[in-house]
A and B are shown apart, each in its own frame.
Chain A
Amino acid sequence: MATDHWAALAAAVAGSRKGTRGCDDAVAVEQWRHGRSVWLIAACGDGAGSASAGAVGSQVAVAAAVAACREALESRSQRTARRDRGLDGAAVVQAAKQAVVAAAQARELPVRELATTLTCLVAGPGWTWIVQVGDGAAALWPQRARPGAWQIALWPARGEYANSTHFLSDDRVQWSERTMARAGAVALLTDGLLPLGLDLARQQAFSPFFEGLSAELRRAQPQQLLVHLQAFLASPRVAERTDDDVSLILAVRKSPGPRKATGHGDGHAAA
């Protein structure tokens, strides 16, 4: 039986200012199938540049968040699964924080040295759920919205200043969650890409950015695009607007049904 699936792409690229220092961002994405349904689980994190092991923090946090989401989906009973509208934000944040604390202890470092943000998204057949700590962002195109009408799920949580935000390592983690409609396409980005994808003055998504990216993914195979996405993120066009690490997860829902004559024959490619 043919089902929905997602075509997904993820890349994290070190910022142009950093020279030999590596990328402190991390991305993770997977698909979880149950019966005829598929859930996309995606997370990105931005390890603080001021923390000595920010890269470890972001990697540990995104892996733990994705695992926690998968386990939450697996453990739902049939009955609750039909009624629920998203996952438990507190539980996912807690799982990610515990993983970061454990990684800090294993390295004998203070937890703040693994300071990281976290944006995590689960897109199911009926809803899209997002939980966020700090200044990443998740954008989605609700499948019933007009084409190209992208929305930002949760506005990046920043302090007054451009270089202040909340981290998973904070004593009291400040997080927020939101459940939205079924998505036709989603994107997760860390703060390095915010000046490109968000219209800061109007406080809304800059849809041409997301539409330009997702249009490529609707056309082509993710495997073929990955190298181009990495090149795009490292390109001077992006670097002249930000010198921070940049990471992006992009996914479009590919529904079965009448295959369009695209000439690509890629209507059923899995991510």
Chain B
Amino acid sequence: MSQSTPFGAVEFAANPEPRCPCVLVLDCSASMAGQRLQELQKGLAQFREELLGDPLARKRVEVAVVTFGGSVKLACDFTTIEHFEPPRLQAEGLTPMGSAIATSLELLTARKQVYRGNGVSYYRPWVFMLTDGEPNDDWHAAIHLVRDVENSKQAAVFAVGVGEANFEVLRQIAVRQPLQLRGLMFREMFQWLSNSLKSVSHSATSEEVPLANPSGPEGWAKV
């Protein structure tokens, strides 16, 4: 053998990692003030830690945070977990949920274009919305937007209600069964979300990634 380690000098293409985008759409209206928002804030920090500990997920999962309380704000634009700093959440105002959903879906469309333009492959994006109330803006357009993206598999949209959230409305908006958070189990919810995103970001050629059922006896949700 002419070399001590055959294949030791093989070069690899310098490709970017495939991306797994996730938009967190968080209700920061006045009713979230106090313990709810504190627990949500802690959950968000834990979400970051969980994904940071996974060498592939930290490079592949991209998070954006849209808040709705008084107005809709882009609290954090898409960034990989490595660079994600959970924004400081503040509760104020009413609940413009309809426009928060529209903003989130626009954000995703733009992000996909960035991926395509840079030859980056990606997984089906997730929109994860959390609310403790009901929309006070025109949310009927959101029904069609969500239905369109779900039917065309452009994104998976999850809705989670906390406390007195209006499930009548959530059921109309989300194609998937909305979930009701047990108590303030935000940490468990974010643990589930990070585990699910880890599974997706590690998947290679599987059509559907099976998710753990969050509404099992030990889960964080009720349906």
Contacts and interface: CB of A to CB of B under 8 A. Distances in A.
B84 interface: no
A200 B15 contact: yes
A198 B13 contact: yes
A224 B205 contact: no
A163 interface: yes
Contact of A163 (B3, B118, B204, B210): B204
Interface string B105-125: 000000000000011111110
Interface stretch (A28-36, A43-51, A88-96): A43-51
Interface stretch (A66-74, A100-108, A204-212, A253-261): A204-212
Nearest to A195: B15
Contact of B119 (A49, A201, A225, A244): A201
A220 B10 contact: no
A180 interface: no
Given A161-B124, A209-B10, A228-B6, A220 B202 contact: no
Interface in A232-248: 232, 237, 240-245
Nearest to A46: B205
Given A213-B10, A220-B1, A163 B119 contact: no
A228 B7 contact: yes
A62 to B, nearest CB: 15
A203 B146 CA distance: 33
The B interface is mostly helix, strand or loop, or mixed, namely: loop
Nearest to A197: B13
Contact of B206 (A49, A231, A242, A243): A49
B104 to A, nearest CB: 18
A241 B204 contact: no
B207 A232 contact: no
Given A200-B121, A201-B118, A209 B206 contact: no
Nearest to B55: A240
Interface residues of B, number: 36
Contacts of A50: 203, 206-210
B151 interface: no
Contact of B12 (A134, A192, A206): A206
A200 B120 contact: yes
B7 A162 contact: no
Nearest to B17: A195
Given A49-B204, A161-B123, A163-B205, A200 B6 contact: no
Given A48-B205, A200-B13, 8 more contacts: A49-B206, A50-B206, A51-B206, A135-B205, A199-B13, A209-B10, A209-B11, A240-B55
Contacts of B15: 195-196, 198-201
A113 interface: no
Nearest to A205: B13
19 contacts: A15-B204, A49-B205, A49-B206, A135-B205, A163-B203, A163-B204, A191-B204, A196-B13, A200-B15, A200-B16, A200-B119, A201-B119, A203-B119, A206-B11, A209-B11, A209-B12, A216-B3, A219-B2, A232-B10
B5 A228 contact: yes
